[in-house]
């Protein structure tokens, strides 16, 4: 069953257009020309329970705006959102009970409270039953290991600890859906790896559905079977990373060093360059394997060394952003 269903979602922000100069300054006192920015422009998708979906796109693409509408923080201009069949705009309280939200750039934790006090506060806000609260604290501590800093004021936590605290806080009321907006932003490599591990663990243990917006393509590769790419408020790709790689970058390159300068062709590979004893071949992954190519060529001339070149995930995604399908 689809736990999230979004149809023809649109969000327009009003932008005040200011005229420059003295004449403009005077005019601005009287008229305010409203101009609209379509941050989200007719987006539709469905998400199945238990999936981890990456929601990615360049800066200003409309990711955070989408997350804010899905989590009921902001009203859409038009279109419909259903979370478990309920609209967050119509029945905000009922929907919010089932959601956890983490904004990497803005902590939800109270700066002046100790982490434990924040948890207690959330217990009251969400009216979490005592037994469930104890159970969740225990489980979340196994994942996030926050005991060691539970009595530390939030403002004294490291960024990595704070993120663990934020993630735990978002999960305290056992939400079925977790929205993570840039959860690894600013974290060092080690903290980033542990946050990824935590996300996987939450998903595996509680079958939590996770929507993850990120700039970090390592996050996508590590965590998400499906990615939705948006640009200029529109969906430009929706599918698995493998499909995207196969479609955008169906070619690989094989570099072969022979013992002597020689030109060896192959019917299923294009000879891109020959320099001295080194030849570079370009071939389609779905037409021939590198192993087969190496074997065929070695029948003609003995091979000293081989190397494989593949398109990088970053380049593939960037190509998708640009909408051009050539590498
Ligand atoms: N409160 C706002 N008022 C006006 N414009 C906004 C507001 N928030 C975002 N925008 C604009 O909407 C677009 C999408 O922003 P956002 O959803 O934050 O993108 P992303 O999270 O993908 O970087 C951008 O052009 C941004 O400048
Ligand atoms: Mg954003």
What are the tens digits of pLDDT across the range 265-284? 999 999 999 999 999 999 99
Q: What percentage of the chain reaches a pLDDT higher than 90?
A: 71
The region, left, alpha or beta by phi > 0 then psi within -120 to 50, assigned to residue 145 is left
What pLDDT does 326 receive? Answer: 43
**Residue with CA closest to ligand 1 atom 7:** 13
Residues 6+ apart with CB under 8 A from 208: 50, 100, 171, 175, 176, 177, 178, 202
Distance separating alpha carbons of residues 222 and 189, to the nearest angstrom? 14
Q: Are 283 and 294 in contact (CB under 8 A)?
A: no
Residue 312 has pLDDT above 90, yes or no: no
Distance separating alpha carbons of residues 156 and 158, to the nearest angstrom? 7
**Residue with CA closest to ligand 1 atom 16:** 62
Q: What percentage of the chain reaches a pLDDT higher than 70?
A: 94
Distance separating alpha carbons of residues 217 and 56, to the nearest angstrom? 9
pLDDT (average), residues 100-107: 91
Q: Are 254 and 218 in contact (CB under 8 A)?
A: no
Distance 193 CA to ligand 2 centre (A): 21
Of 17-31, 112-126, 141-155, 221-235, which gets the smallest average pLDDT?
17-31
For residue 106, what is the DSSP state? B
pLDDT band at residue 32 under the 50/70/90 scheme: low
Q: Where are the strands (E) in the chain, listed by range?
A: 2-17, 33-48, 52-56, 78-83, 99-103, 177-181, 209-213, 226-231, 234-240, 251-258, 270-275, 278-284, 303-309
**Residue with CA closest to ligand 1 atom 1:** 13
State which residues have CB under 5 angstroms from ligand 2, the bound ion: 63-64
**Residue with CA closest to ligand 1 atom 3:** 13
Residues 6+ apart with CB under 8 A from 142: none
Residues with CB under 6 A from ligand 1: 13, 15, 37, 39, 57, 59-65
The string of pLDDT tens digits covering residues 64-99 is 999 999 999 999 999 999 999 999 999 999 999 999
Distance separating alpha carbons of residues 4 and 8, to the nearest angstrom? 13
β-bridge mates for residue 326, sequence order: none
Distance separating alpha carbons of residues 288 and 269, to the nearest angstrom? 8
pLDDT (average), residues 218-231: 92
pTM: 0.82
Candidate from 10, 17, 63, 65 with most ligand 1 atoms within 8 A of CB, to mutate: 65
The string of pLDDT tens digits covering residues 116-126 is 999 999 999 99
pLDDT (average), residues 40-63: 95
What pLDDT does 251 receive? Answer: 92
pLDDT band at residue 31 under the 50/70/90 scheme: low
What are the boundaries of each domain within the chain?
Answer: 2-8+41-245, 250-310
DSSP 147-214: GGGTTSBGGGS-HHHHHHHHHHHHHTT--SEEEEESTTTT--HHHHHHHHHHHHHHHHHH--EEEEE-
Task: Give residue 268's Cα distance to chain centre.
Answer: 36
The helix/strand/coil state of 60 is coil
Nearest atom within ligand 1 for CA of residue 64: 21
Interhelix angle 313-322/241-248, rounded to 10 degrees, is 80
Distance 60 CA to ligand 1 centre (A): 5
In terms of CATH, what superfamily is 2-8+41-245? P-loop containing nucleotide triphosphate hydrolases (3.40.50.300)
Distance separating alpha carbons of residues 99 and 172, to the nearest angstrom? 10
């Amino acid at each position: 069953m689809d736990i999230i269903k979004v149809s023809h979602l649109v969000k327009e922000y009003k932008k005040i257009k200011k005229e420059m100069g003295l004449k403009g300054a005077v005019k601005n006192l009287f008229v305010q020309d409203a101009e609209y920015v379509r941050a989200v422009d007719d987006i539709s998708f469905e998400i199945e329970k238990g999936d981890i979906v990456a929601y990615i796109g360049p800066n200003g693409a409309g990711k955070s705006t989408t997350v804010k509408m899905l989590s009921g923080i902001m009203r859409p201009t038009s279109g419909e959102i259903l979370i478990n069949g309920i609209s967050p705009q119509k029945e905000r309280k009922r929907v919010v009970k089932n959601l956890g939200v983490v904004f990497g750039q803005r902590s939800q934790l109270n700066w002046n409270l100790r982490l434990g006090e924040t948890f207690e506060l959330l217990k009251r806000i969400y009216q979490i039953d005592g037994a469930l609260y104890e159970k969740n604290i225990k489980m979340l501590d196994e994942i996030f290991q926050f005991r060691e800093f539970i009595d530390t004021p939030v403002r004294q936590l490291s960024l990595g600890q704070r993120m663990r605290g934020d993630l735990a806080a978002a999960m305290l009321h056992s939400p079925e859906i977790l929205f993570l907006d840039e959860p690894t932003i600013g974290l060092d490599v080690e903290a980033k790896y542990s946050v990824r591990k935590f996300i996987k663990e939450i998903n595996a243990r509680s079958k939590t559905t996770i929507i993850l917006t990120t700039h970090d393509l390592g996050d996508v590769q590590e965590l998400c079977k499906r990615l939705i790419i948006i640009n200029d408020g529109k969906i430009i790709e929706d599918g698995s990373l493998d499909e995207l790689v196969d479609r955008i970058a169906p070619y690989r390159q094989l570099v072969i060093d022979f013992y002597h300068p020689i030109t060896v062709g192959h019917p299923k590979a294009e000879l891109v360059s020959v320099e001295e004893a080194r030849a570079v071949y370009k071939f389609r992954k779905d037409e021939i394997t590198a192993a087969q190519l190496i074997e065929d060529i070695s029948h003609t001339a003995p091979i000293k060394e081989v190397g494989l070149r593949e398109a990088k995930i970053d380049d593939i995604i960037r190509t998708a952003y640009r909408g051009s399908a050539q590498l």
